[in-house]
Chains A and B, each alone.
Chain A
Amino acid sequence: MTTSTLSRTTDARRPATDKPDSRRTLLGRRRRERWWAALFLGPQLAALLVFTLIPLGFAVVLAFMKWDGLGEKSWVGFDNFQTQFSDPTFRDAVLNTLTLGLITVPVGLVLALLIAMALNNVRGKTIYRVIYFLPVVTSSVAVAVIWQMLLASGDLGMLNNTVHDWFGITLPDWLNDPDWVMVAIAAVTIWSSLGLNVVIFLAGLQSIPAHLTEVARIDGAGPLRIFRHVTLPLLSPTIFFSFVVAVISSFQAFDQIYVLVDPDHNEGARTIVYQVYDLGFKKFEFGASSAAALLLTLMTVVVTVAQFGMQKRFVHYES
């Protein structure tokens, strides 16, 4: 694909170059383009190779071994994967992880988009922006204390007591009930990551040339039509980025859970990454831990590839 596109564009743009040399210049240009690519990619590529790909290769090999982190390693073939597949805690972890993603990704992105739109041109935007960013910089200890108090059961649980007093409805024990804890975790995840998504969307909105929306407005388009036909298409690359990243990071959920509940005390809060951590650093089964991590990677790849497949239909790019 690459070479043909390249030759076509070059030919089209430079039709008048002297004929005998055109093939040589083309080759030279192509080679030069590769040099430029290498130059631009070099730093990131080198860092990625050394600090991510090599350790990753090690982890892949480890997935086929048995190793307690201290003693000898031994090959076990696909045993680690089989153990994970037949392990009910791994299956539960997959379900918990998917539940979290299914709640946080759509709700989190739609909320962030709405807030970014509202903040883009509202009066007092500077102060609002700071306010909506505060959860991102609130210390995790404060987050833990406040949310645990809000969501607790018993005499201190602010939310459940208020709802019970006002509406007579008894809400679940959010943090201790395995069936409901993911909902609580999802709520806190959305709350705490909203600010970053708003920042990204705001940057995307700011990159939209103002004259385009202005032209649409002069043409008599209402705000909804402008959003649908101008803003949304131009923002779609940013939305797509946030969408992909949100899915990947929801699959990697770990830190924000640890703040709220200890998955050792509530199996409903076990995610795949917790399983990876638990197997490796608490149970000293590094092979099994790697296998679980690779399965998670595989799962993420499948979903991301599907997202990139959808991209052609929904994402509008310049040129």
Chain B
Amino acid sequence: MVTAIRRRVGTVALHTLLIVGGLLMTFPFVWMLLTAFKGEGQMIQDPLAWLPDPWRASNFPDALDAMPFGRAYWNSFYIAAITVVATLLTASMAAYAFTRIEFPFSRSLFVVFLLTQMVPTQVTLVPLYVMLSHFGWIDTHLALILPAIANPFAVFMMRQFIRAVPIELEEAARLDGANRWTIFTRIVLPNIKPGMAALGIIVFLGSWNSFIYPLIFLNSEENFTVPMLLASFKGQHGGLDYGMLLAASTISVVPMLIAFMIGQRKIINSMAASGMGGR
């Protein structure tokens, strides 16, 4: 009885905390949604107002008309999708090698991997540009996809997840005569699905939001990605049309939310599917 009450009180306290914290997390997003419906003058007349007055849904079609969003959407989407698939596959492969295959200089090589993440991209930007222009990849999407695949953080993250996979599972398969590739695809990958889903979300977001590389590497408008179009709405003198700017922003975050939902579901569902939880 007492424990039941205590548990009830605990639950209420937990939810109260989560809701208060949730408000803190949510309000800029809500503000973004609401401001996307505001007219041009309202941000000036009353910057603190939350509700649009009047509501102006036309910001959305206006924003879409002002710049070629359809094309940019497709560009951003397919770049992010390829980057996610390629990164998930190659990073977990590399992580598997680092974790479960013995080879000379394994540790040193991993250190080199991590080391490259410690150099700010600002300083490798010019040499990378020079190289990509030699390859003739400037103003193509290859210049965004291929460099993004080299992702030591992803390797590191997958390595941590693979290390948590019980080695006995692998050894059992080995005794059955399975080779490395079979073990990797049949044993390891199913067991690190939650990690891969989380990594997928992160890589997708990173690619979708990426700004500096597309800005420097792409020249033609038909190749532009969504963040580049968004930036052009900000204007030279701190433009005031927040309505249209945030309408455009709102449109641009939808794919990220979808990616998150899908990834989240995978993180949760994979437990049951992989047999991990029941072991």
Contacts and interface: CB of A to CB of B under 8 A. Distances in A.
Contacts of A195: 25
Interface residues of A toward B: which range?
35 or more
A12 to B, nearest CB: 11
B161 A237 contact: yes
A147 interface: yes
A135 B28 contact: yes
Contacts of B5: none
Nearest to B153: A245
Interface residues of B, number: 103
A289 B126 CA distance: 12
Interface of A: 2-3, 5-6, 13, 33-34, 36-37, 39-41, 43-45, 47-48, 50-56, 58-59, 69, 115, 118-119, 122-124, 126, 128-139, 141-143, 145-147, 149, 156, 158, 191, 194-196, 199-200, 202-204, 206-207, 209-211, 234, 237-238, 240-241, 244-245, 248, 251-252, 254, 272-273, 276-277, 280-281, 286, 289-290, 293-294, 296-297, 300-301, 304, 317-319
B118 A304 contact: yes
B18 A128 contact: yes
A248 B164 contact: no
Contact of A135 (B25, B152, B160): B25
B101 A33 contact: yes
B118 A251 contact: yes
A132 B25 CA distance: 6
Interface in B15-57: 15, 17-18, 21-22, 24-29, 31-32, 35, 47-48
Given A137-B256, A203-B161, A234-B164, 16 more contacts: A2-B106, A36-B181, A43-B93, A47-B147, A51-B147, A58-B124, A134-B26, A135-B25, A137-B205, A138-B28, A203-B197, A203-B198, A248-B118, A277-B122, A304-B114, A318-B164
Interface stretch (B60-68, B73-81, B270-278): B270-278
B267 A202 contact: yes
A181 to B, nearest CB: 19
A146 B109 CA distance: 44
Contacts of B124: 52, 55-56, 58-59
B97 A40 contact: yes
Nearest to A239: B160
* Central interface residue in A34, A59, A129, A252, by most chain B CB within 10 Å: A59
A196 B202 contact: yes
A131 B119 contact: no
Interface of B: 11, 14-15, 17-18, 21-22, 24-29, 31-32, 35, 47-48, 86, 89-91, 93-94, 96-98, 101-104, 106, 109, 112-120, 122-124, 126-128, 130-131, 146-147, 149-153, 155-157, 160-161, 163-167, 171, 180-181, 184, 191-192, 194-195, 197-198, 201-202, 205, 230, 234, 242, 245-246, 249-250, 252-253, 256-257, 260-261, 263-264, 267-268, 270-271, 276-279
B253 A53 contact: no
A36 B91 CA distance: 15
B120 A252 contact: yes
A141 B195 contact: no
* Central interface residue in B112, B119, B201, by most chain A CB within 10 Å: B119
Nearest to B104: A2
B22 A318 contact: no
A45 B234 CA distance: 39
Given A137-B257, A211-B278, A318-B166, A37 B47 contact: no
A141 B234 contact: yes
A138 B29 contact: yes
Contacts of B245: 141
Contacts of A118: 14, 17-18
B164 A207 contact: yes
B253 A138 contact: yes
A312 B272 CA distance: 31
B102 A147 contact: no
Contacts of A48: 113, 116, 150, 152
A277 B121 CA distance: 10
A264 to B, nearest CB: 15
A64 to B, nearest CB: 14
B160 A238 contact: yes
Nearest to A52: B116
Given A37-B103, A48-B152, A211-B278, A115 B21 contact: yes
A41 B150 CA distance: 11
A153 to B, nearest CB: 15
A293 B119 contact: yes
